[in-house]
Amino acid sequence: MGKVGLGLAVGCAVASCAIAAVMVGRRVRSRRRWLRVVRVLDEFEETASTPVGRLRQVVDAMAVEMHAGLASEGGSKLKMLLTFVDNLPDGSENGTYYALHIGGTNFRLLRIQLGGQRSILGHDVERKPIPQHLMTSTSEELFDFIALSLKEFIERNGNKNNQVRGKDLGFTFSFPVKQTSLSSGTLIKWTKGFAIQDMVEKDVVECLQKALSRIGIDMNVAALVNDSVGTLALGHFYDKDTVAAVVIGTGTNACYLERADAVIKCQGLLTASGGMVINMEWGNFWSSHLPRTSYDIDLDAESQNPNDQGFEKMISGMYLGDIVRRVIHKMSLESDIFGPVSSKLSARFVLSTPSMAAMHEDDTPNLSEVAKILEDSLDIYNVPLKVRKLVVKICDVVTRRAARLAAAGIVGILKKIGRDGTAGITSGRVKSGKSGKMRRTVVAIEGGLYTSYTIFREYLNEAVGEILGEEIAPFVILKVMEDGSGIGSAMLAASNSSQGQSQSQSVDTVVQVL
């Protein structure tokens, strides 16, 4: 080989070495970037983890806080509000009733025809998105929108205003309300992104009645009802063993039947049945046992209601998508696996919970739904399959934690009323040991997260079983009550109707389930 040949060969070898070195360098850097992202995920998963031991601590904390909230006004972050519902539907109600439901992303209008003997002869439901600007406008504008929607609904159903004159109406208002009777109450605070300042501390029913008369509708609000209470009412209509209800939708809440003498803050509370439905407002529950991450802390700090609704911010549909967005944002700042940092990643609520659920439940082999949602919602393009899988995993961690915490909340209620197979709690302390005979216990559930998000539902059901154990779990039944919040409120209007269309045996039924 001549000098030239040798020179060429050496040159080639050097070049190949350099290329190899560049490639190895790239691979090492890309591996490092990947490891950084995996570390973010691991840390998140670890802090958000909900082993059954931790869930049991949440169960106990929930039961203790319930006790404290019943003992004194302001005794707990759980408000444990009186509802003045001591008379749940029992199936004997009949007649046609209307109901309105405001509280989430959609406003709902309902008309039901009850035929007695536990029968619903017909029901119409209409959903309308609430225009965004009305959520932060004035109470008059919001209630005029509600009244006008009712007028149009009545007309669409072939009725004239005079045909509904004097009819009883159920009003589901899904925000914390201090009730002064079954058909009156003042708004304590807004949640779920609503913020109409002039409404706070105003009587909600008065606002509605005034708007109805402005538009010429002569109807009577017979029941002002939280959505959880409506769900309990429908649950009880179908099944007398229903003792509690849970809503997991845009927001979250629970209510249950309590003995009147356990409501210590209202000494001498007298009800015909000896019991009352308590609206827990569990969205505001807090305990140091909750697995809180830095993403939750940031979400809370940037929210409209910091230090408020802590449990809701870990569980409900308004927030889950946004937690996922925050984790992806953090990852994209640590590494370029999502490409250049998209500005959308810093925008709150751009990733909705339904989109997050769609990514989580994407069953296409190459996760094309995940790719599409990353593009449409977050302006993130062309991510490889392994990054899409990572996104699915983030959704899983967020949803699993939410569902398992909700499950712990449910068992907390059962513990408070002695339906979890343990000895329950007395004087605010958790008692150890087992109770006597377990009774069939039904919990009614409503809200899109549970009804439409299969993985969420499965995680929740599984966790209830895990916490209760296989001996007790078969006694506890979770039953979906589709549209329960609205239908139940129409039923409460019926069972408390001034028109006297229902019979009175329903009073006893509360006592039976306590």
Binding track, positions 222-241, relative to ligand BGC; x by CB under 6 A: ----xxx-------------
Between the CA of residue 28 and those of 15, 21, 38, 332, what are the distances in Å?
20, 10, 15, 18
Q: Which is nearer to ligand BGC, 89 or 176 (CB)?
A: 176
For residues 253 and 191, is the Cβ–Cβ distance under 8 A?
no
- To 5 degrees, how large is the angle CA 245–CA 438–CA 238? 40
Task: Report in angstroms how near the CB of residue 408 gets to ligand BGC at its nearest.
Answer: 18
Task: Report in angstroms how near the CB of residue 90 gets to ligand BGC at its nearest.
Answer: 23
If one asks whether residue 86 binds ligand BGC (CB under 6 A), the answer comes out as no
3-state secondary structure (DSSP) of residue 109: strand
Q: What is the DSSP letter of 226?
A: -
Binding track, positions 335-374, relative to ligand BGC; x by CB under 6 A: ----------------------------------------
If one asks whether residue 450 binds ligand BGC (CB under 6 A), the answer comes out as no
Q: Which is nearer to ligand BGC, 37 or 254 (CB)?
A: 254
Closest chain position to ligand BGC (CB): 251
Active-site pick, 203, 227, 362, 483: 227
Q: Which stretch binds ligand BGC (CB under 6 A): 170-178, 412-420, 428-436, 452-460?
A: 170-178
Which residue among 95, 185, 235, 283 contacts ligand BGC (CB under 6 A)?
283
For residues 215 and 151, is the Cβ–Cβ distance under 8 A?
yes
Q: Confirm whether 108 is a catalytic residue.
A: yes
If one asks whether residue 253 binds ligand BGC (CB under 6 A), the answer comes out as yes
Task: Report in angstroms how near the CB of residue 414 gets to ligand BGC at its nearest.
Answer: 19
Which residue among 230, 235, 249, 421 contacts ligand BGC (CB under 6 A)?
249
Q: Which is nearer to ligand BGC, 252 or 271 (CB)?
A: 252
3-state secondary structure (DSSP) of residue 476: strand
Contacts with ligand BGC by CB under 6 A: the residue count is 18
Where is 61: in which H helix or E strand? helix 52-71
If one asks whether residue 95 binds ligand BGC (CB under 6 A), the answer comes out as no
Task: Report in angstroms how near the CB of residue 87 gets to ligand BGC at its nearest.
Answer: 20
- 232's CB contacts (< 8 A; 6+ apart) are 88, 242, 244, 245, 255, 256, 257, 277, 444, 484, 488
Could you tell me where the beta strands, DSSP code E, fall in 421-464?
A: 425-426, 429-430, 441-446
Q: Which is nearer to ligand BGC, 55 or 81 (CB)?
A: 81
Which of 425, 410, 432, 408 has its CA nearest to residue 262?
425
Task: Report in angstroms how near the CB of residue 430 gets to ligand BGC at its nearest.
Answer: 26
If one asks whether residue 252 binds ligand BGC (CB under 6 A), the answer comes out as yes
Active-site pick, 76, 92, 139, 174: 174
Task: Report in angstroms how near the CB of residue 78 gets to ligand BGC at its nearest.
Answer: 12
Active-site pick, 108, 111, 400, 457: 108
- 413's CB contacts (< 8 A; 6+ apart) are 62, 63, 66, 244, 254, 256, 280, 443
How far apart (Å, rounded) are the C-alpha atoms in residues 354 and 106?
14
End-to-end CA distance of the chain: 100
- What angle, 0 to 180 degrees and rounded to 10, lies between the N-to-C axes of helices 484-495 and 227-238? 70
Which residue among 69, 91, 176, 484 contacts ligand BGC (CB under 6 A)?
176
Q: Which is nearer to ligand BGC, 249 or 484 (CB)?
A: 249
Within residues 97-156, the interface with ligand BGC by CB under 6 A covers 103-104
Task: Report in angstroms how near the CB of residue 384 gets to ligand BGC at its nearest.
Answer: 39
In terms of Cβ atoms closer than 10 Å to its own Cβ (0-12, 13-18, 19+), residue 37 is buried
In terms of Cβ atoms closer than 10 Å to its own Cβ (0-12, 13-18, 19+), residue 443 is buried
Q: Confirm whether 420 is a catalytic residue.
A: no
Query: Could you write out the three-class secondary structure of 349-412?
Result: CCCCHHHHHHHHCCCCCCCHHHHHHHHHHHCCCCCCHHHHHHHHHHHHHHHHHHHHHHHHHHHH
Q: Confirm whether 292 is a catalytic residue.
A: no
By annotation, the residues acting in catalysis are 108, 174, 227
Binding site for ligand BGC (CB under 6 A): 103-104, 174-176, 191-192, 226-228, 247, 249, 251-253, 281, 283, 312
